[in-house]
Structure 1
């Protein structure tokens, strides 16, 4: 377990925190009923979402008398507490993850590879998944995270703002050139330079990588500085440095503080988000006239593609009941349980991890209730869809890349210098991991 010994010392001080958070030991195997296996399940949801997940677990417990799942919400610093529990030899049986830590955890031998459970009735799990979903949970050829609920991204466009800007609301941008030209007509600034309305602001690099055909990880290293596609994408983002960074950031923050976004409030022309934006609009601005299209493509780029992320379930190394944990997480994902998943996934506005769940009548009925939902699901089968490469330093890479975007939008670094910094720090971290 390379590099693991250093982590033990760092985490030892946190072990009592985990014991306190858990509130109970994972070592119990019965709840008073002979033969009932007690599973400990940790996740990081809180508020409304915590209740949704608990309701799903309750349904599992009612239909699986030989297993009882005990849920614990750890909304703060969940990954650190998980790794601490693994070192202490008392991890949960299942952990739900949505941050890009899977490569780091797997590289440190902190997770069980799930391929070992794919026998008998479970032999077709990999073929059952959307290919891009399977890739997203895979590290060095082994599946370490079973996809549960998926997210795909599209470009939302406000038809009323397009019309006000003199644009055809039935002709949303399909190319980068059209997006740049259309959004430029929508910005509104006060006489004092304060932002009052946004056309579009590209402050995320990763979500554009499939559209720009960017492959940032090649031959075991990050390659960005002299990567033509990677550089072209960052240069395009840097073109938006003409807008005042501080004013734009402050404007966006006012919405984030209130758990909304400027698009849902009718103050942004174009916005990239997942299917969960639809209920946000329904709640805060139900009369909005809007649509969705795939992300516009640059010359030579990929059309009708998307970037994928979501939630996946892991079985930590040292879990007391891995076979029952596997039974639980496959049930949640909908494997051999498609009809149930087709009814439960809409509760979160989720895209299933498998086309077989998507094809179920209940899920199709839900999609058809709002025609804007279906395009998000249709994109899932494009073989050119992409993910952020799964490596031992994906989380660090993503943070470095986010910082680099901010630097170019502020005009503090050129596109090439920003990418060179991301490449250097990420590759150095890879060497340290080794």
Structure 2
């Protein structure tokens, strides 16, 4: 595991202080797990209150209200009419695992379709769904093209790839689920064209396949609404995997899905784990979801996204190293290239920008299949001053790399 030499002493909002007293603007946001910022007072207060009540009982052994309240609020985040049900687990990978498990049991099928540049986790199944070398092979995982307009893969091309896969490689009657990120995260912050999501929904409906959206990084108002797929009303999924910012900084993830699918799994068939939905995480998530479901917070998140996009567009107009600005809401990124005409990826320059930014007081991370994308995951509570300082450092780092 690669990590930064930065050693954190404290953090608040969009700021981090290290053990030497240096302050950083945080554009990494816990890799998408801190949409509400570092140590939000209401979340901290809820955790403290829960600490004095009980730490762990195991929801399969005894129920507690925090778990139920989080499930009710999480269901309210799932677009569409429902009815939906929810379950809680400990990590995003567990959420994806359980979404696939539910789809397989409910449909009586085993095959799963995943996509180029996907990232769904590091467990055996989710690593197989993820498009990275070195994963152990898992039977009945099939991979289709994902849209990447900047590099010549249109929504139409990607949908044609799915249809070709169903015609030549796997019988649609054997496919339990199609698993996709509405905004591919580790793959390069690639928002799917709306027509692609609608097309996936139509294919799944035609063949009785469960459509699973991985909203682990794109959810919790990162793109404005609670779920990124809410931007496309014609693409309501059957199941959603949630995680990262759901726990307000503590480990928590979950699955929401159509009630008839979730109910198809017999008792003991859900792998929630001993610590799934633990009381402390539920206390934090209860506050987080109250914020996420607040229309005022959703509008603020959308406004932040527009601000980020404007600032990144201004950088792109000035610095030729930036080949494309893209994203959805406050999930924005820039792809760096050595030449705008050839679009040759610039991974070395990208690494240099990340390193230089950290040295100047800005924490930012890269992503993308070529390692040449810089993503902005600043907490949604960042102030204008935070953004001014952060973008000042980023601009300087990009100019130096160029």
Normalising TM by the smaller chain, what interval? Answer: under 0.3
* TM-score, length basis structure 1: 0.26
Which has a greater percent of strand? 2
When Rg is computed on C-alpha atoms for both structures, the one with the higher figure is: 1
Which has a greater percent of helix? 1
